A and B are shown apart, each in its own frame.
Chain A
Amino acid sequence: MMMREASCTVAVVGGGTAGLALARELKRLDAGSVVVLEREAQAGGTPRHCGHYPFGILEYNRLMKGPDYARRNWEEAETAGVEIRTGTSVTKLLPGGSLEVVDNEGVYRLNAERVVLCTGVRESSRPQRFVGGDRPLGVITTGALQSSVYLKGIRPFERPVIFGSELVSFSSLQTCAHLGIKPVAMVEEEERIRARGVFTPYLWLKHVPLHVGVSNPRILGRERVEALEFTDHKGRARRIETDGIIISGRFRPEAALLHRSHLEVDGGTGGPAVDQYGRCSDPAYFSAGNLLRPAETSSWCHAEAREIAIGIAADLRQPSKSESVELHIKDNRISFVMPQSLCLTGGRAGMSNVYLGLNMPVDAKLAAYSSGRLLWSQRLRSRPVRRITIPVAKLLDAGPDGPVELTLED
């Protein structure tokens, strides 16, 4: 049997915030036919199941809840002439911009001049965080909790423990409040909460005790969760009676397709290795949004995706010969850099920032060198899970003549 085939100018894999914003911008720039492939029944991505504020302030000058924001994103895209195919999964990335796609009719091949990967992030699962114990019902990520609550009206438990203390962990508190579910504790393995300290009073307000510096967490329960056991920061054995565990945060790129493809993967981010145009190791492939780096806000992804769209539109008009320099990490406190290379030709389009991730709190001078020459430096006092950026323009204007080396100087 011949496989069905179809073609388009740009295929966008993933109809979340980045994918939709990028697709709409491409249409606005008259970049040809643009198809968004979305595996869920509705486009919109993560904001669809974040039934809370604040979304859309910068993009639409309005304060919106997640689902309204998601709807606005796909309406804007559709109005602009983007074709959104929902219930459609991409199962393979092939060299040169061909995709193996599956929908309710079976498998087909989609040949695109450019493919943009916008598959986003997900939270680390319980096994990925090596949380031991039994395997009862009632252990879910914030994402699963939110889609249960907001999309399906299901309440998975009554008095869960929140495992993790990132922004999303606090968002899970809100989700619980939405249904009158009362979390009994927040538990964090690190020495302090990972979200900004300003959130701590919120826990007091909600009467949710916080335990930081815990180790060896174990989930207990036969059919359903019955308790969480752990060693507290003073080395004491603790046990919290609970009927559910929300495993929250530690976002990681949704990169399964990528890992099985011909594209180069960056060990630091776990996403594709790209230049500031979002261009991958196969020049037919680009990427945008949180797949590039875990994890930024919707607003940020929206803006960045539009920047990348401008570069793709230019690339379609005239593919640029890419003369580029790599960005190298020279201090092991830096966990990743994205983009991993800078294209020296093609003007100022593309992402406006280089991102860094940290493994630990840092108080030092962040500096970028090329061939031993200082390109840029700035004082950096920061902790992991914070936004740390270097303006791309600053690095390019300094005229790197070889790999750019990023260091921390105490």
Chain B
Amino acid sequence: MPASTAPQSSYDVAIIGAGVVGCAIARRLTLDGARVVVLEKALDVLDGASKGNSAILHTGFDAPPGSLEQACIAAGYGEYLQIAKALGLPVLRTGAMVLAWTPEQEEQLPALIEKAHLNGVEDVAPLTRAQILEREPHLSPQVRAGFEIPGEYLIDPWASAHAYILQALANGAELFRGTEVLAGVYEDGWRLKTTGGPVAAAHVVNCAGLYGDLVDDRLLGEKSFTIRPRKGQFLVFDKAASDLVSTTILPVPTKTTKGVVVCRTVFGNVLVGPTAEDQESRTDASTDREALERLRRKGIEMLPELSDCEVTTAYAGLRPACEKQDYQIAHHSARSYVTVGAIRSTGLSSALGIARHVAGLLQLSRDALADPAIPLVDRLSDYHPRDWQEKDNGGIVCHCELVTRREIERVLSGPMPPATLQGLKRRTRAMMGRCQGFYCTAEIAEITGDRLQVPIGHDDA
């Protein structure tokens, strides 16, 4: 499965970057009738900012009213719920609660509720301490007050983006992975120089996430913002912890961060995080012991019984924040170029909304596909039927996450096979469970063989 043969033909749109935003835009423009090519520098999709987040579909109740971010979240949220069923994407309506733990935080609650109402999230309502503890009896009694946001959902962050790009591919779009855009010239259309050969496209959409400013600089010779990556570390607790909490628990945000969230995941775990650490590096998604131990303590403060729960894993994501407050989406119409930059932590919720916004900026005036193909992705939710419950699944390979051999084979021979083990994990959840590959590493190494670009091990032979 080579990364690319040189893309030769001319496209309507070249999308740079296959994160959740690039995938959503590829889907939108393809469904609108455009010929789309997606160019991804990494060996696989979702390899940058989109690989680590809190997997919540937000209502946007706390976004700055009147901002582009708020508009995109609202539109993205609506469309997600509309298409989730058709695309086979799991959604779990858990609702969320913003909780105050100190008198100072409690004072801020009315203003936050008012902001939610301003953002059109009208079912946000205050909760007393007694109401909170009645709903979540395992919460620490230290909680003072809060409010609920009934419309917040848990989703599968990877399956969502995979579903977008797979639908684009099934309807004619092309994807080249391991293909970095090195330079470009605009003369009545773009001619891009990439590591996979030249690409010609009428329009370029820059969705390069953590590299958005650099791509602008490379192609436009200017940049209007500078990415300042903000690292967020997360701690994942084993499935038994999900008996302790059902609603997503949000803190009262401060000026700089939304704070540490405690929530379930659609995969049946409990997540505590993120941290918020500004850094220079665009690649350093490392975790550190001290931060993880702090998260664990923070989780236990809110949910004391977490102290008896096993940690499954830890990870870090990088949010492509910048020095400005809002998303940086700009149409350079004279050069048929759209920058989609600084899509911070809300990108998962807003991606479909951003895609509609970008389509509106480009005004491609093609005929929308009348009857687009809808490929299905495997549903990996712990709260929905799974492949292991079905006949002839080939047996369970990953026992912690109950991943079947059939599921693994299906993605390996599918339209967008994983290039790396990380890609396989995101598509199947294999090795993502409590044993972190203690049992299945060897078997997965054998099944994947040389079908990954970065093989797991090599044969003794």
Contact = CB atoms under 8 A, between A and B. Distances in A.
Interface stretch (A27-35, A148-156, A301-309, A324-332): A148-156
Interface stretch (A62-70, A110-118, A120-128, A361-369): A120-128
A106 B395 contact: no
Given A128-B311, A256-B238, A154 B442 contact: yes
A132 B286 contact: yes
B312 A127 contact: yes
Contact of B402 (A91, A103, A128, A223): A91
A200 interface: no
A155 B315 contact: no
Contacts of A147: 439, 441-443
B458 interface: yes
Interface stretch (B1-9, B184-192, B272-280, B288-296): B288-296
Interface in B275-316: 283-293, 308, 310-315
Interface residues of A, number: 53
A158 B286 CA distance: 24
A154 B456 contact: yes
Given A127-B312, A148-B457, A154-B459, A104 B238 contact: no
Contact of A104 (B283, B392, B439): B392
B438 A127 contact: no
Given A87-B395, A104-B393, A154-B459, 4 more contacts: A40-B439, A107-B389, A153-B459, A216-B288
Nearest to B390: A106
B134 interface: no
Nearest to B313: A127
Contacts of A401: none
A260 B243 CA distance: 8
B217 interface: no
B285 A256 contact: no
B52 to A, nearest CB: 10
Contacts of B442: 144, 147-148, 151-152, 154
B459 A259 contact: no
Given A132-B287, A216-B289, A256-B238, A137 B456 contact: yes
Interface in A131-164: 131-135, 137, 140-141, 143-144, 147-149, 151-157
A125 B238 contact: no
Contacts of A137: 421, 454, 456
A130 B292 contact: yes
27 contacts: A41-B395, A89-B388, A106-B389, A125-B313, A125-B437, A125-B438, A126-B436, A127-B311, A127-B314, A128-B311, A130-B314, A132-B286, A135-B315, A140-B437, A141-B438, A143-B438, A144-B441, A152-B442, A153-B459, A155-B459, A155-B460, A218-B288, A223-B454, A252-B310, A254-B435, A256-B239, A259-B310
A131 B457 CA distance: 22
B399 A89 contact: yes
Interface in B424-461: 434-439, 441-443, 445-446, 454, 456-461
Interface in A259-299: 259-260, 267
A57 B68 CA distance: 73
A316 interface: no
A133 B286 contact: yes
A179 B439 CA distance: 20
A133 B310 contact: no
A39 interface: yes
Contacts of B421: 137
B396 A89 contact: yes
Interface of A: 39-41, 87, 89, 91, 102-107, 122-123, 125-128, 130-135, 137, 140-141, 143-144, 147-149, 151-157, 179, 216-218, 220, 222-224, 252, 254, 256, 259-260, 267
B391 interface: yes
Nearest to B435: A122
A107 B387 CA distance: 11
Q: Give the residue among A152, A222, A267 with the most B Cβ atoms within 10 A.
A: A152
Contact of A155 (B290, B446, B457): B457
B445 A152 contact: yes
Nearest to A122: B438
B391 A105 contact: yes
Contacts of A154: 442, 445-446, 456-460
A220 B287 CA distance: 11
Q: Give the residue among B399, B436, B446 with the most A Cβ atoms within 10 A.
A: B436
A157 B455 CA distance: 12
B400 interface: yes
B140 to A, nearest CB: 19
Nearest to B292: A130
Contacts of A40: 439
Q: Give the residue among B399, B420, B435, B446 with the most A Cβ atoms within 10 A.
A: B435
B376 interface: no
A78 B158 CA distance: 45
B289 A131 contact: yes
A156 B461 CA distance: 13
B240 interface: yes
A2 to B, nearest CB: 14
A127 B287 CA distance: 10
A130 B438 contact: no
Contact of A130 (B289, B389, B393): B289
Contact of B286 (A143, A218, A254): A218
Contacts of B287: 132-133, 135
A87 B457 CA distance: 25
B449 to A, nearest CB: 10
Contact of B293 (A102, A130, A148, A218): A130
A260 B292 contact: no
A244 B238 CA distance: 26
A130 B436 CA distance: 13
Contact of A256 (B434, B436, B443, B445): B434
Contacts of A259: 238-240, 310
B224 to A, nearest CB: 30
A38 to B, nearest CB: 11
B458 A155 contact: yes
A134 B314 contact: no
